[in-house]
Amino acid sequence: MLHEKGVVEGFAGPQKIWITTQVKTSCGQCQQKKDCGTGIIAQLMTTKTNRVMVKCDYKVELGDTVTVAIPEQNLVWSSILLYLLPLVGMFVGLVIANLFSFHELIGLVFALSGIISGLYLANFFSKKIKALSIMPKVVETFNFDKVECSKD
């Protein structure tokens, strides 16, 4: 399971909430971060957030911090949908163009149409996966405002 912390931003229905999470980058930790292009881009990306709908079986309020878990297999299948289907579509388009000995520019058009078809298929299958209700779920909640601390 992959875990991520987020803040409750809204409610989306029975046992579904909206959370926001901070975009994390692995770059920017070395001494070259001010001179490295990747480090500069990482600094620009760190202020961005993602808004995600997740399942929640806990009683939460707006502003609560929650930990969300997603199985690794869901991430793998999402990657296959997003990257492999358009790539296979491109190759199918190129093979069809080569079978009929079309000009290279027409082969390029077939390849682009294969990529677009693959993206549409990925969108279709991702909606089917959502219909199967395979989504991240809350596994732990934190509410720091309600925790009482005492000075010793």
pLDDT tens for 111-137 read: 999 999 999 998 888 877 765 556 777
Taking alpha carbons only, the member of 46, 37, 14, 29 closest to residue 133 is: 14
- pTM here is 0.58
Tell whether the model's pLDDT for residue 10 goes beyond 90: no
In a domain, 24, yes or no: yes
Could you give the number of structural domains in the chain?
Answer: 1
Q: Which residues pair with 8 in a beta bridge?
A: 19
Give the pLDDT of residue 31.
65
- Rg of the chain (C-alpha set): 22
Give the pLDDT of residue 115.
95
In a domain, 136, yes or no: yes
Pair of tokens at residue 125: 């299958």
Tell whether the model's pLDDT for residue 51 goes beyond 50: yes
> Do the beta carbons of residue 81 and residue 126 sit within 8 Å?
yes
Give the pLDDT of residue 150.
35
Coil, helix or strand for 81? helix
Give the pLDDT of residue 152.
40
Give the mean model confidence (pLDDT) for residues 12-39.
72
Cα distance between residue 20 and residue 143, in whole Å: 15
Q: Which uninterrupted H or E stretch holds 75?
A: helix 72-79
- In terms of residue numbers, what domain contains 11? 2-142
3-12, 41-50, 51-60: which range is least confident on average? 41-50
Q: Which residue has the tokens 């930790």?
A: 29
Give the mean model confidence (pLDDT) for residues 142-151.
48
pLDDT tens digit sequence for 57-114: 888 888 888 888 887 877 787 888 889 999 999 999 999 998 988 888 898 999 999 9
Cα distance between residue 139 and residue 75, in whole Å: 17
Q: Which has more pLDDT, 49 or 84? A: 84
Cα distance between residue 69 and residue 75, in whole Å: 11
In a domain, 151, yes or no: no
Give the pLDDT of residue 58.
81
> Do the beta carbons of residue 1 and residue 72 sit within 8 Å?
yes
Coil, helix or strand for 142? strand
In a domain, 91, yes or no: yes
In a domain, 148, yes or no: no
